[in-house]
Structure 1
Amino acid sequence: MPQDPATVKAALGELEKTGKAGLQIHFPDIVITKPGTQTIKAATQPAPFISISSRIAKSKPTKYFSMCLDLDAPLPSFNFMSPILHEMQANLTGQGEPDAEGWIKLASDDEKPIAHWAPPGPPPFSSPHRYIFMIWEQSEDLASVEIRKRLGFGETVGLRPRPRWDQDACEKKLGLGKSLGSNYFTV
């Protein structure tokens, strides 16, 4: 079985240790605030947006880069296809002031994500899959065009490059460094 990438291991370890997520994941019918929240496929079909905790947000004007990975495909006990890239988005910026709980909604000025949202779809006989969102501060030289170029992506990221995603290589190619925060849910 593949090992979780180093950044993912660190993020999961931090979430387990503190119980505090740096991100909220917003779907129309559910907001994931607590790490490991279990939900159903139907609730996670529309593309989510994320909010960043004001305790980890950088001062304005900061751009952020986010990714979502499925860590358990096709089965948690036999995850040879993992991780699978489920979404990649650049140029995220804070939208206004923090809400009452200290969350700042993020949105992108790009017309589309680097890799569009691929909704969770674990097989019916599978135990729950973990879907982790991670966020990094985006350097000024990392515009969407440059990200696509460094990763060898065209305008659209189809299914072929998503399974067995090499997260460590991706982070190295993009010069990402340590992630600022994360959160995950299970389906």
Structure 2
Amino acid sequence: MDWETPVANFPLKVVYSDGVEVQNGNRVTRTQAGNKPSVSWNADPNKTYLLAMMDPDAPSRYLPFLGEVLHWMVINVKGGNVTRGEEVVPYGPPGPPPGLGAHRYVFLVYEQPELITVDEQMKTSRLARIRYSIQDFAKKHNLGNPVAKNYFQTTFF
């Protein structure tokens, strides 16, 4: 997956509580990204969406042998109202290891063709979030490609 290129004509606005806005690869500190952000996009009020936050750089961007890590997932978001969607994976703040460089934290929005149900293991197991393939999940639920995307970078220090 191309993690960094924004989706044309479909901006994804991500703002943390202290007003720090994610802007296609800017630096955001772990402290600034410590709490769940506000997320919005040009959503159709009659459609349903999925929002996910991924770290594709575990344990490092240049040696990502642990695969993608799922940090947040909200499904069945009607018309872009994230607070009314079903948070199946609670927000997990960035946690790149010390000394391994910057990690990218990517927010993805997919349009859902129908409501999604997930198993309880995904909701409760931290291990289920490691080596998590958002592409496989999208394929399983016929989501296609993301309709909106944004990301930031952060380091341990």
Q: Match for residue 132 of structure 1?
A: 106
Once superposed, what is the RMSD of the aligned Cα atoms? 2.3
Structure 2 spans left out of the alignment, 5+ residues: none
The 5 Å alignment of 1:156-175 reads 156-175=123-142
Aligned partner of 2:91 in structure 1 is 117
| Pair 1:33–1:186, CA change in 2 (3 A) | closer
Is residue 2:56 matched to residue 1:71? yes
Residue 106 (1) aligns with residue 81 (2): yes
**TM-score normalized with structure 2 length:** 0.85
Quick one: distance in 2 between partners of 1:131 and 1:87?
10
| Post-superposition CA distance 1:54-76 (Å, at most 9, x none) | 3xx33x22221111110111122
Aligned to 1:176: 143
Is contact 1:21-1:34 (8 Å) kept? no
Question: C-alpha separation between the residues in 2 aligned to 1:23 and 1:159?
Answer: 26
Q: Is the 8 A contact 1:75 1:126 kept in 2?
A: yes
What's the TM-score, normalizing by structure 1?
0.72
**2:69 & 2:39 partners in 1: Cα distance?**
19
Partner of 1:42: 31
Matched position secondary structure for 1:176: coil
- Aligned pairs, how many? 154
Listed as ranges, the gaps of 5+ residues in structure 1 are 1-5, 95-104
| Percent of residue pairs identical | 27
More helix by share: 1
Shift of residue 33 of structure 1? 4.4
Report which of the two structures shows the higher radius of gyration computed on alpha carbons.
1
Contact 1:45 1:120 in 2 (8 A): yes
Looking at structure 1, the residues matched to 37 and 55 of structure 2 have their Cα atoms a distance apart, in angstroms, of 15
Greater share of residues in strand: 2
* Whole-angstrom CA distance in 2 between matches of 1:70 and 1:61: 30
